[in-house]
Amino acid sequence: MNDPLEPVKITIHETQGCLVLPIQEELSKEAAQQIQRSLLEQVHGKSVKGVVIDLSGVKILDGALWEIFSKTAQMVKMLGAPSVITGLSPGVVASIIDLNLEINGLTTAMNLKDALEILTQSAELEVDNDDEAGNDSENEDDNLDIDDEWNRETEKELDNEDTKF
């Protein structure tokens, strides 16, 4: 675990229009909060399709760290970008469940490739949906109904995927 007084040096990468936050070491709570602030500043400062929080380097995850990363995912969503948590090892998943930590509202994926696929497909669906809504202005009320229905269906699908690890 790193020294809480020493600044953490984690590079946030951008690929396929998404930000990728790779956590490849055990972190202190303070370091995780510092990373959280940095990620949120980047999300706020640029237009991205989504954010991947890759925890593949984390072998031990306590309740405090999980809370920081799960809340980071929620904060990213509030800033207008979807997020996916990936790289959870079987031991970390077991700890999350054993500690009865909150997992609702989170999207997870097995690996970075799957996470990027989820985010890029989600962004493509939004673009297609926006294009369809603009094609026929006479039926704008109908388009709103379709958008609302699509959003409800997408949320149901994501809710079903949220618990898959």
Rounded to the nearest integer, the mean pLDDT of the chain is: 81
Would you say 56 and 90 are in contact if contact means Cβ atoms under 8 Å apart? no
3-state secondary structure at position 21: strand
Q: Alpha-carbon torsion 55, 57, 58, 59, what sign?
A: positive
Measuring CA to CA, which residue among 162, 134, 157, 158 is closest to residue 146? 134
3-state secondary structure at position 136: coil
Q: Domains (ranges, CATH) in the chain?
A: 13-162 (3.30.750.24)
Read off the pLDDT of residues 16-64 as tens digits, 9 standing for 90 and up.
999 999 998 889 999 999 999 999 999 999 899 999 999 999 988 899 9
- Which has more pLDDT, 73 or 139? 73
Read off the pLDDT of residues 126-138 as tens digits, 9 standing for 90 and up.
666 656 655 544 4
Cα(120)–Cα(50) distance, rounded to whole angstroms?
Answer: 8
CA terminus-to-terminus distance, the chain? 25
What is the model's pTM? 0.72
Would you say 13 and 52 are in contact if contact means Cβ atoms under 8 Å apart? no
Cα(4)–Cα(2) distance, rounded to whole angstroms?
Answer: 6
- Residues 75, 20, 98: CA angle, nearest 5 degrees: 65
Local confidence band at 102 (pLDDT 50, 70, 90 cut-offs): very high
Report CA Rg, the chain.
Answer: 17
Query: What percent of the chain has a predicted confidence (pLDDT) above 70?
Result: 71
Question: How is 44-102 classified by DSSP, letter by letter?
Answer: HHS--SEEEEE-TT-S---HHHHHHHHHHHHHHHHTT--EEEE---HHHHHHHHHTT--
User: 161 pLDDT exceeds 50?
Assistant: no
